[in-house]
Structure 1
Amino acid sequence: MGKLHDLRELLYEVPQWRMGPGPNGTRGFLKWVALTLLLSAPVQARQAPPAPAAATPVSLSAPIVTEHRGTFNGKKVAYRAFVEQFDAAGLDGAPAAKLVSISYVARNATLDRPVLFVFNGGPIVHSAFLHMGAFGPKRVAIPDDIAADPATFKSVDNRYSILDVADVVFFDPAGTGFSRTAKGIDIRTQFSNVADARQLQQLVLAWTRAHRREGSPYYLVGESYGTIRASEAARQLAESGRPPAGLVLIGQAVNIVEYVQRRGNIVSYAVSLPTLAAIAWHHYRAERRGRSFDRYMQDAHDFAAKAYLTALFAGATAPLDERQAVARRLQEFTGIPADFWLKNALRMTKTDYQRALFPGKLLDTYDARYVSPVGQSSPFSAVSNSYIDALLAYLASDLGVTAKVGSYVREVPTSGLNGWDFGPNKTPFGDWPYGEPITDLFAAQPDFRLLVANGYYDTQTTIGAQNYLVTQSGWPRARVRSYNYQGGHMPYTIEASLAAMMQDVRAMVTRRW
């Protein structure tokens, strides 16, 4: 595979901006990856982030290219891996970032072969999770037993990867992974949904030009905050004359303004209930009554959308017997006593539920299958870290890249919401219509497709919010697919869910629907 390359020599050093412990003792990324966790902080408590230390960039002079073979979805594929740097211009047209991407391209790729641009969320994090969890040629094999020791996790060939039918490019925003801002550029200038998406837009245009794939259909695949990035980048790409053929939204946050749990936002409680119901089922706290999981979940959705939402809307005017009946159903689906629901106006936040189901213990925010004593780190933090460790080992062993400590930025370089501009609306009368670019793409492109995916046990981006987005958007149902999988914010940690999700993505990019 040739000489090992040290990206610290090829790029430049940046400090590791580390967060303090989260509510359950975890550090770093796990308490910041999801947009909704950031939104849970009271406005008055947010502090502007300190200025990151300056750094001097050094160019990656030439791509690092290696040859590989693998079997994906039963098909043998010869492919090349590229580690390469692309310059990205900012909104003012001046150099803004030096983006290092990792991509996998089939040796016999034709112009009609799709390309997937894949990225995680934050804002802002690297793409190690989707890279080593779902879309790359290797993956971390997570046992179904959630008590398994993460130290025993191994990297294996990823036979579920989409590489049998599409090429894959991983995007790391400046300040994450190996990507950096350009010399003299303050990274805080990139802390907005528009500037952040501009980096992705620039990468798509630069990568397709460098690889002579301007005519290939391409898709944007984003997770968590990355779904907001995908929508905004799609708008910018459409304006540049290169709209995507479709989007894949994993753990979507596009309609977050509708489902964030402010006390007066009664819809948020209704759309969150199916997630609480799924969690209660998993932990044997629900009243199953002989139902299958699918039947039980359908009952939970129906109850949330009808009787529960009606009672929330009625508030104190609802007759006592009706409130009591609703409280009993809430106990059925959540395992929380009816008396609690009656005393709390039939409301319970997801955060409160994480602490209430097992007193003295805490359900993990991102995957509520994991439970830990209050004050201790969630076991899921070690699972998450295993993806980053595996990626760095894989880069050295398979792609000819070695990263010294301090080169690969693991952490999020923001420290609060005041450091991120989510859009132009600054008043109580504003809106954050992150889904509008998707609506425009459906109208402009008869072949545009959308896939939305979510894990049942994710308390940040929930299955109910996903369903609410799809049903309220007005998007053409024949060109939209919405799927739920066993698992949490990263459902691909479960092998069966990974297999199902990748087949669903495969069906989309090969236009089987």
Structure 2
Amino acid sequence: MATPFTMANDSVEADAPSTETTEHKARIQGKNIRYQVAAGDTQLKDEEGNPSANIFSFYYQRTDVEDRAQRPLIFVFNGGPGSSSVWLHMGVFGPKKVVIPSDAERVGAPPYPILDNPESLLDIADLVFIDPVGTGYSKPVGGKEGKAFWGIKEDAETLAQFIRVFVTRHQRWNSPKYLAGESYGTTRAAAIVGELQEGWGSMDLSGVFLISSILDFQTGDFTPGNDLPFITFLPTYAATAWYHNALPDRSKWDDLPAFLDDVRQFALNDYATTLLKGALATDEEYQNAVDKLHQFTGLRQQYIQQTDLRINEHFFMKELLRDRGEVVGRLDSRYVGEDESQVRERPETDPSSYAIDGAYTAAIQSYMAKDLNVIRDNRYQVLSGEVFRNWNWLYGASPRAQGFVSMSPILSKAMRQNKDFRIFIANGYYDLATPFFATEYSMNHFGYDQERIKMAYYEAGHMMYIHHPSLESLAQDMRAFLLQQ
């Protein structure tokens, strides 16, 4: 039964944590299950014992099980930084999902279908969806300011504290535990692993699910003097051109994975060498790179020469279909949109973002009110620009403004120190935000144990689960990983 909702009348009551608990049933993987949802606040305290933050979360626990202690527990969050957990919650992991067109069509206005999710992992694991401070309904309390929580280290410490408190209250210390993050949430997952597993009094984890991973920012930040992203983004440029039939001769490659293998080989060899040589590259080497880039991306040879072989992701989004008057999406390059100006060098916005945002925002609000009895007047922050703008990128000796954040050493250390720690990685071929080749670069460095890494690929973008066949494949792949099949 749901507890009644009461409106807060003053600042003290507004900071007081509250939780709504409801009972449900679902049919997952062809079986009927019963589960309970506790949606509400967990209040964290500082070292002096004073309230510091209310973390809003959704806790799904299956109730028709005999031995909860041995049941896996997955902590789920998204990225941004500044995003709530709505995307993974209503897209793949939760027992309810919002259904939008699978073929990269714009969604439009409500109503949106909010249906049962037979692919949810709730039948084999309990789920905790976490909204970091400044997202969802999570907020600082006790006079604290948001900036105290907004940074790689600060955020990881806060969510690690939440996880410890949660595990203690629910008596789950001896359960298998996983973290699941998307986009910056994969950076967050690595940082939390460091907070939980390193040092005395550690909490050893069974592994992480990395959805559209970004661990090492040198692979993805287009800054002067850093040639690596031009290499790591190239296969995604090629996949995008292949999808939109923008290649000079697409008939050479009917099979996308085989095509991308050819692109990878060029990227790692001739292209990387030519970029590394710079002015030392011969005319023949330079022209070969121009020809291959034209062949693999569909961009005009003159344009490639004008970029000095270095194609920025935003320039690519605008240039690829310029002759059609269209721009491709960043989060999912299957999507196309139209800009007011056809002559700018960058898109005015990301068509794959505005195509889906309204549906997920409406879905989480409707679902909370109708099914979970959570109705609050303050805004549920789906994605906060304030959090993103004020994020502290300093982490140890690697300030992003002066270098590049690198989280792979944390996960590789986790593997060395914990023989059972495993990594699942989901990659979208059409993801121009966190390209799959950049993730491959990370996984092929830093001493990872390749035997405990599962890489999976889907013909969709950053949120690959909005593509219906990819959702089914992703869910089955994660299920097999969790069951160690």
Matching residue within 255, 268, 275 for 2:236: 275
Matching residue within 363, 368, 376 for 2:328: 363
Structure 2 CA distance for partners of 1:413 and 1:243, relative to 1, 3 Å: farther
Matching residue within 98, 111, 117 for 1:158: 117
Secondary structure of 1:170's match?
strand
Q: Give 1:110's aligned residue.
A: 68
Shift of 1:452: 1.5
Secondary structure of 1:401's match?
coil
- Asked if 1:422 corresponds to 2:389, the answer is no
Shift of 1:490: 0.8
**TM score, norm. by length of structure 2:** 0.90
Structure 2 CA distance for partners of 1:161 and 1:427, relative to 1, 3 Å: closer
Structure 2 CA distance, aligned partners of 1:138 and 1:232?
29
CA offsets per residue over residues 244-291 of structure 1, 9 Å max, x none?
210111121211123312242222111110010011011101232143
- Asked if 1:491 corresponds to 2:455, the answer is no
Q: Give 1:245's aligned residue.
A: 206
Structure 2 CA distance, aligned partners of 1:91 and 1:421?
24
Matching residue within 451, 455, 460 for 2:433: 460
Structure 1 CA distance, aligned partners of 2:47 and 2:313?
38
Q: Give 1:50's aligned residue.
A: none
Structure 2 CA distance, aligned partners of 1:132 and 1:387?
7
Structure 2 CA distance, aligned partners of 1:90 and 1:5?
28
Tell which deviates more after alignment, 240-249 or 254-263.
Answer: 254-263
Q: Give 1:18's aligned residue.
A: none
Shift of 1:95: 3.3
Shift of 1:149: 3.6
Q: Which amino acid aligns with 1:241?
A: S
Q: Give 1:407's aligned residue.
A: 379
Matching residue within 15, 18, 41 for 1:58: 15
Shift of 1:76: 2.1
Secondary structure of 1:506's match?
helix
Q: Give 1:445's aligned residue.
A: 418
Structure 2 CA distance, aligned partners of 1:154 and 1:428?
43
Shift of 1:459: 1.1
Secondary structure of 1:162's match?
coil
Shift of 1:497: 1.0
Shift of 1:403: 3.1
- Asked if 1:221 corresponds to 2:180, the answer is yes
Matching residue within 78, 96, 99 for 2:34: 78
Structure 1 CA distance, aligned partners of 2:46 and 2:240?
43
- Asked if 1:167 corresponds to 2:123, the answer is no
Matching residue within 281, 302, 314 for 1:339: 302
Shift of 1:3: 5.4
Shift of 1:12: 8.0
Q: Contact 1:449/1:480 (CA < 8 Å) preserved in 2?
A: yes
Structure 2 CA distance, aligned partners of 1:67 and 1:305?
53
Structure 2 CA distance, aligned partners of 1:94 and 1:421?
27
Q: Give 1:316's aligned residue.
A: 279
Tell which deviates more after alignment, 320-329 or 455-464.
Answer: 320-329
CA offsets per residue over residues 360-419 of structure 1, 9 Å max, x none?
432222111112122466264141221121011111111122233x33223415266554
Q: Contact 1:73/1:160 (CA < 8 Å) preserved in 2?
A: yes
Q: Give 1:211's aligned residue.
A: 170
Secondary structure of 2:411's match?
helix
Q: Contact 2:394/2:400 (CA < 8 Å) preserved in 1?
A: no
Shift of 1:345: 2.0
Matching residue within 422, 428, 432 for 2:405: 432
Secondary structure of 1:117's match?
strand
Q: Which runs of 4+ in 1 moved over 6 A?
A: none
- Asked if 1:257 corresponds to 2:218, the answer is yes
Shift of 1:295: 0.7
**TM score, norm. by length of structure 1:** 0.86
Q: Which amino acid aligns with 2:211?
A: I
Secondary structure of 1:144's match?
coil
Shift of 1:430: 5.3
Structure 2 CA distance, aligned partners of 1:462 and 1:202?
31
Structure 2 CA distance for partners of 1:94 and 1:60, relative to 1, 3 Å: closer
Q: Contact 1:10/1:60 (CA < 8 Å) preserved in 2?
A: no
Structure 2 CA distance for partners of 1:431 and 1:348, relative to 1, 3 Å: closer
Shift of 1:156: 0.7
CA offsets per residue over residues 416-459 of structure 1, 9 Å max, x none?
65542432434987563312221221011111101122211111
Structure 2 CA distance for partners of 1:313 and 1:2, relative to 1, 3 Å: closer
CA offsets per residue over residues 17-76 of structure 1, 9 Å max, x none?
xxxxxxxxxxxxxxxxxxxxxxxxxxxxxxxxxxxxxx9843134x32111111222232
Structure 2 CA distance, aligned partners of 1:92 and 1:486?
50
The percentage of counterpart residues that share the same residue type is 31
CA offsets per residue over residues 176-207 of structure 1, 9 Å max, x none?
11111122001111111111112211221122
Q: Give 1:35's aligned residue.
A: none
Structure 2 CA distance, aligned partners of 1:366 and 1:430?
25
Structure 2 CA distance, aligned partners of 1:357 and 1:303?
20
Aligned residues: 467
Structure 1 CA distance, aligned partners of 2:305 and 2:237?
17
Q: Contact 2:425/2:455 (CA < 8 Å) preserved in 1?
A: yes
Q: Contact 2:332/2:430 (CA < 8 Å) preserved in 1?
A: yes
Q: Contact 2:219/2:229 (CA < 8 Å) preserved in 1?
A: yes
Structure 1 CA distance, aligned partners of 2:35 and 2:415?
33
